[in-house]
Amino acid sequence: MAGFVFLLHFGGFDLLSLAMRRAGIDARPLMTFPAAAQSLGDFWGRRWNAGFRDLAFGLIFRPMCRRLGVAGATMAAFLASGLVHDLVISLPASGGYGLPTGYFVLQGLGVLAERAMPVTGRIAGRVFALAMVVAPIGLLFPPVFIERVIVPFMRAIGAL
Protein backbone atom coordinates (compact mmCIF):
# COMPACT_ATOMS: atom_id res chain seq x y z
CA MET A 1 0.00 0.00 0.00
CA ALA A 2 2.82 2.41 0.84
CA GLY A 3 4.34 1.81 -2.57
CA PHE A 4 1.02 2.58 -4.26
CA VAL A 5 0.58 5.80 -2.26
CA PHE A 6 4.12 6.91 -3.08
CA LEU A 7 3.71 5.99 -6.75
CA LEU A 8 0.50 8.02 -6.99
CA HIS A 9 1.70 11.07 -5.03
CA PHE A 10 5.27 11.25 -6.26
CA GLY A 11 5.09 9.52 -9.62
CA GLY A 12 1.73 10.06 -11.22
CA PHE A 13 1.14 13.58 -9.94
CA ASP A 14 4.67 14.67 -10.88
CA LEU A 15 4.23 13.31 -14.39
CA LEU A 16 0.89 15.08 -14.69
CA SER A 17 2.51 18.35 -13.56
CA LEU A 18 5.31 17.91 -16.11
CA ALA A 19 2.83 17.23 -18.91
CA MET A 20 0.76 20.27 -18.01
CA ARG A 21 3.83 22.52 -17.87
CA ARG A 22 4.92 21.15 -21.23
CA ALA A 23 1.50 22.19 -22.56
CA GLY A 24 2.07 25.73 -21.26
CA ILE A 25 -0.01 25.46 -18.10
CA ASP A 26 1.63 26.66 -14.88
CA ALA A 27 1.08 23.51 -12.82
CA ARG A 28 3.68 23.25 -10.11
CA PRO A 29 4.24 19.83 -8.51
CA LEU A 30 1.90 19.01 -5.64
CA MET A 31 4.71 17.71 -3.45
CA THR A 32 7.89 19.60 -2.63
CA PHE A 33 10.25 16.97 -1.18
CA PRO A 34 8.25 16.24 2.01
CA ALA A 35 11.15 14.26 3.50
CA ALA A 36 13.08 17.53 3.83
CA ALA A 37 10.47 19.10 6.14
CA GLN A 38 12.09 20.89 9.06
CA SER A 39 8.90 20.86 11.14
CA LEU A 40 5.33 19.61 11.12
CA GLY A 41 4.15 23.05 9.98
CA ASP A 42 6.68 22.97 7.15
CA PHE A 43 5.47 19.51 6.12
CA TRP A 44 1.78 20.43 5.93
CA GLY A 45 2.19 24.09 4.98
CA ARG A 46 4.80 23.92 2.23
CA ARG A 47 5.72 20.38 1.25
CA TRP A 48 2.68 18.08 1.18
CA ASN A 49 -0.13 18.51 -1.36
CA ALA A 50 0.20 22.18 -2.31
CA GLY A 51 -3.07 22.00 -4.24
CA PHE A 52 -5.14 21.14 -1.18
CA ARG A 53 -3.11 23.50 0.97
CA ASP A 54 -3.81 26.43 -1.37
CA LEU A 55 -7.49 25.55 -1.58
CA ALA A 56 -7.84 25.16 2.19
CA PHE A 57 -5.93 28.38 2.81
CA GLY A 58 -8.16 30.43 0.53
CA LEU A 59 -11.52 28.83 1.29
CA ILE A 60 -11.17 27.88 4.94
CA PHE A 61 -8.17 29.31 6.76
CA ARG A 62 -8.30 32.92 5.57
CA PRO A 63 -12.08 33.42 6.08
CA MET A 64 -12.07 31.56 9.41
CA CYS A 65 -9.03 33.47 10.64
CA ARG A 66 -11.14 36.62 10.97
CA ARG A 67 -13.72 34.81 13.11
CA LEU A 68 -11.69 32.22 15.00
CA GLY A 69 -8.13 33.53 15.02
CA VAL A 70 -5.11 31.65 13.71
CA ALA A 71 -5.49 28.62 15.99
CA GLY A 72 -9.18 28.18 15.24
CA ALA A 73 -8.65 28.64 11.52
CA THR A 74 -5.79 26.13 11.58
CA MET A 75 -8.03 23.57 13.24
CA ALA A 76 -10.88 24.31 10.81
CA ALA A 77 -8.58 23.64 7.84
CA PHE A 78 -7.32 20.37 9.31
CA LEU A 79 -10.88 19.34 10.19
CA ALA A 80 -11.96 19.98 6.60
CA SER A 81 -9.05 17.88 5.34
CA GLY A 82 -10.10 15.10 7.69
CA LEU A 83 -13.69 15.19 6.45
CA VAL A 84 -12.53 15.03 2.81
CA HIS A 85 -10.31 12.06 3.65
CA ASP A 86 -13.19 10.37 5.46
CA LEU A 87 -15.22 10.70 2.26
CA VAL A 88 -12.57 9.02 0.12
CA ILE A 89 -11.36 6.46 2.66
CA SER A 90 -14.18 5.54 5.08
CA LEU A 91 -17.10 5.63 2.66
CA PRO A 92 -15.56 3.26 0.09
CA ALA A 93 -14.47 0.95 2.94
CA SER A 94 -17.87 1.15 4.66
CA GLY A 95 -16.06 1.52 7.96
CA GLY A 96 -13.46 3.38 9.96
CA TYR A 97 -15.70 6.43 10.03
CA GLY A 98 -14.11 9.39 11.78
CA LEU A 99 -10.61 7.91 11.96
CA PRO A 100 -9.18 9.92 9.04
CA THR A 101 -10.78 13.03 10.52
CA GLY A 102 -9.18 12.16 13.86
CA TYR A 103 -5.81 11.85 12.13
CA PHE A 104 -6.06 15.36 10.70
CA VAL A 105 -7.37 16.87 13.92
CA LEU A 106 -4.31 15.36 15.60
CA GLN A 107 -2.10 16.93 12.91
CA GLY A 108 -3.69 20.32 13.54
CA LEU A 109 -3.10 19.98 17.27
CA GLY A 110 0.51 19.04 16.53
CA VAL A 111 0.99 22.15 14.40
CA LEU A 112 -0.50 24.32 17.15
CA ALA A 113 1.67 22.65 19.81
CA GLU A 114 4.72 23.21 17.64
CA ARG A 115 3.85 26.91 17.31
CA ALA A 116 3.25 27.27 21.05
CA MET A 117 6.42 25.44 22.08
CA PRO A 118 8.78 25.65 19.12
CA VAL A 119 10.94 22.59 18.72
CA THR A 120 14.50 23.82 18.76
CA GLY A 121 17.02 22.39 16.36
CA ARG A 122 16.62 21.04 12.89
CA ILE A 123 16.86 17.40 13.92
CA ALA A 124 14.30 17.77 16.70
CA GLY A 125 11.87 19.47 14.30
CA ARG A 126 12.27 16.72 11.74
CA VAL A 127 11.86 13.97 14.34
CA PHE A 128 8.71 15.62 15.72
CA ALA A 129 7.25 15.96 12.20
CA LEU A 130 8.07 12.36 11.31
CA ALA A 131 6.61 11.04 14.56
CA MET A 132 3.42 13.07 14.17
CA VAL A 133 2.86 12.09 10.55
CA VAL A 134 3.80 8.40 10.77
CA ALA A 135 2.91 7.17 14.27
CA PRO A 136 -0.88 7.64 13.93
CA ILE A 137 -1.01 6.54 10.25
CA GLY A 138 -3.40 3.72 11.24
CA LEU A 139 -6.05 6.38 11.82
CA LEU A 140 -5.68 7.67 8.28
CA PHE A 141 -5.60 4.20 6.72
CA PRO A 142 -7.57 1.97 9.11
CA PRO A 143 -7.45 -1.82 8.71
CA VAL A 144 -10.96 -1.89 7.24
CA PHE A 145 -9.79 0.37 4.38
CA ILE A 146 -6.77 -1.82 3.71
CA GLU A 147 -8.87 -5.02 3.81
CA ARG A 148 -11.86 -3.79 1.80
CA VAL A 149 -10.29 -1.34 -0.66
CA ILE A 150 -6.52 -1.67 -0.98
CA VAL A 151 -6.22 -5.48 -0.94
CA PRO A 152 -9.00 -6.01 -3.54
CA PHE A 153 -7.48 -3.28 -5.71
CA MET A 154 -4.02 -4.84 -5.49
CA ARG A 155 -5.52 -8.23 -6.39
CA ALA A 156 -7.39 -6.71 -9.34
CA ILE A 157 -4.19 -5.28 -10.82
CA GLY A 158 -2.28 -8.51 -10.19
CA ALA A 159 -0.03 -7.10 -7.49
CA LEU A 160 -1.06 -9.78 -4.95
pLDDT in tens, 47-96: 999 989 999 999 999 999 999 999 999 999 999 999 999 999 999 999 99
Q: Which of 10-24, 88-102, 141-155 shows the lowest per-residue confidence on average (mean pLDDT)?
A: 10-24
**Whole-prediction pTM:** 0.89
Looking at residue 1, its pLDDT comes to: 67
pLDDT score, position 99: 98
Domain ranges for the chain: 1-31, 37-156
9-20 burial: b if 16+ Cβ within 10 Å, else e: eeeebeeebeee
Band of pLDDT at residue 27, cut at 50, 70 and 90: confident
Question: Alpha-carbon distance 45 to 57, whole Å?
Answer: 9
More confident residue, 28 or 79: 79
Determine the pLDDT at residue 16.
Answer: 82
Specify the pLDDT at position 14. 79
